[in-house]
Chains A and B, each alone.
Chain A
Amino acid sequence: MNFSWMAWTLPTALFFITIALLLVGMGIWEYVSPGGNPRIGILRFETTRGDRLFVSLLGSAFIHLAWLGFGGGQHLWWALALSVVYAVGVFRYV
């Protein structure tokens, strides 16, 4: 079977491997300590750590898009750094 139409590149492959590893990691974490540590944070509804990961990733995606749209696409590492700060914030307070 020919997969060339999928047009894989190293960066996108690394991106999806990272996501996959994150999911596996969360799965193992959940298996070791089930329940997902539910709590009610600043958004005033219950979240588990899976929800917090999702909010972090989705938020990071929008941070990157905003950086690309308003910053012209230079110095994307700053967007990544901002995303990490945001993710830490989400895991700490949401």
Chain B
Amino acid sequence: MEKTWNNKAWFMVLPVLVLVAFSAVIPLMTVVNYSVQDTFGNNEFFWAGTDWYVEVLTSDRFWDALTRNLIFSAIILAIEIPLGIIIALNMPKKGLGVPVCLVLMALPLLIPWNVVGTIWQVFGRVDIGLLGHTLEALGINYNYVQNPIDAWVTLIVMDVWHWTSLVVLLCYAGLVSIPDAYYQAAKIDGASRWSVFRYIQLPKMKRVLLIAFLLRFMDSFMIYTEPFVVTGGGPGNSTTFLSIDLVKMAIGQFDLGPAAALSIIYFLIVLLLSWIFYTVMTTSDAQS
């Protein structure tokens, strides 16, 4: 659509600007201020320069949390994207099955995140949970409270449970836009299942897959609520992701300086990711 140039449109954007400035710009400025100072409370601050940044950037704690977060994102993407594609390809295309599938699959997406945590917390417990109990009956030693690997597996399965549907729904939206004529032509040509996927379905899903990939990456990069409820970052620090670590530092220990420096670094990484997201979206829009 051709848009007209009209700078008066600024007035329509103004309410949004005021709101977001209040809830984003002022806090961010404050965080920058805190990140270069030290405090002992009572709003008394002392200049600390870039010390906090050096402290955070040279601490194992930060790099460990960042690494854990990146590994977590990589694992859930490697599971959710292919799984989502496979399920979307096998979804019914018409009839009663469509709304049934859509409604049931969307259910986990609409559950409050802390309840997702609660659900898996009770589901995995050996004493009262179906999963934990069954695994124990099968002779598998499983305890997400004490064993780091079990905690990781629980969080990954929980995330797959929670978010794979989003990938499915996005892929499905891409698939239903393919006209039937394409499939008929492929059938006449005797195309194999693989080449139908490779040359008809995958190109149509490219854009939604891109969105799914970026959304899942960003959201898993700032995951907080679900692991907080299930493991609280433990056992030890084994599931302490960046957000959990930051909240521990900022609210738990009230270490304003290091927490603010970590916030800025975290925010810069997210800013870079958002920019990639935006650029990829606008570039792919311009091509199609």
- Residues of A whose CB lies within 8 Å of any CB of B are 4-9, 11-12, 15-16, 34, 45-46, 54-55, 58, 61-62, 65, 68-69, 72-73, 76
Residue from A12, A58, A69, A73 in contact with B271 in the complex, judged by beta carbons closer than 8 Å: A58
B5 engages A58 (CB within 8 Å)? no
Contacts of A69 in B (CB 8 A): 53-54, 57-58
Residue from B5, B34, B43, B57 in contact with A65 in the complex, judged by beta carbons closer than 8 Å: B57
A73 engages B43 (CB within 8 Å)? no
A6 engages B268 (CB within 8 Å)? no
* Minimum-distance CB pairs A-B, first 5: A69-B57, A73-B54, A7-B33, A7-B45, A68-B53
A4 engages B43 (CB within 8 Å)? yes
Interface of A is mostly: helix
Q: Give min CB distance, B265 to chain A, whole Å.
A: 6
CB nearest to B47 among chain A residues: A9
A6 engages B57 (CB within 8 Å)? no
Residue from A8, A15, A16, A45 in contact with B283 in the complex, judged by beta carbons closer than 8 Å: A45
Assembly CA distance A15 to B223 (angstroms): 31
Query: How many interface residues does B have (CB within 8 Å)?
Result: 28
Interface of B is mostly: helix
Contacts of A12 in B (CB 8 A): 29, 32-33, 36
Contacts of A68 in B (CB 8 A): 50, 53-54, 57
A7 engages B34 (CB within 8 Å)? yes
Known contacts being A7-B34, A58-B272, is A76 close to B43, with CB within 8 Å? no
Contacts of B286 in A (CB 8 A): 46
Known contacts being A7-B37, A7-B45, is A62 close to B268, with CB within 8 Å? yes
Residue from B45, B53, B268 in contact with A73 in the complex, judged by beta carbons closer than 8 Å: B53
13 further A-B contacts with Cβ under 8 Å, apart from A4-B43, A68-B53, are A5-B30, A7-B30, A7-B43, A7-B45, A12-B36, A15-B32, A45-B283, A58-B271, A62-B268, A65-B53, A69-B54, A69-B57, A69-B58
CB nearest to A59 among chain B residues: B272
Known contacts being A4-B43, A58-B275, A69-B57, is A11 close to B36, with CB within 8 Å? yes
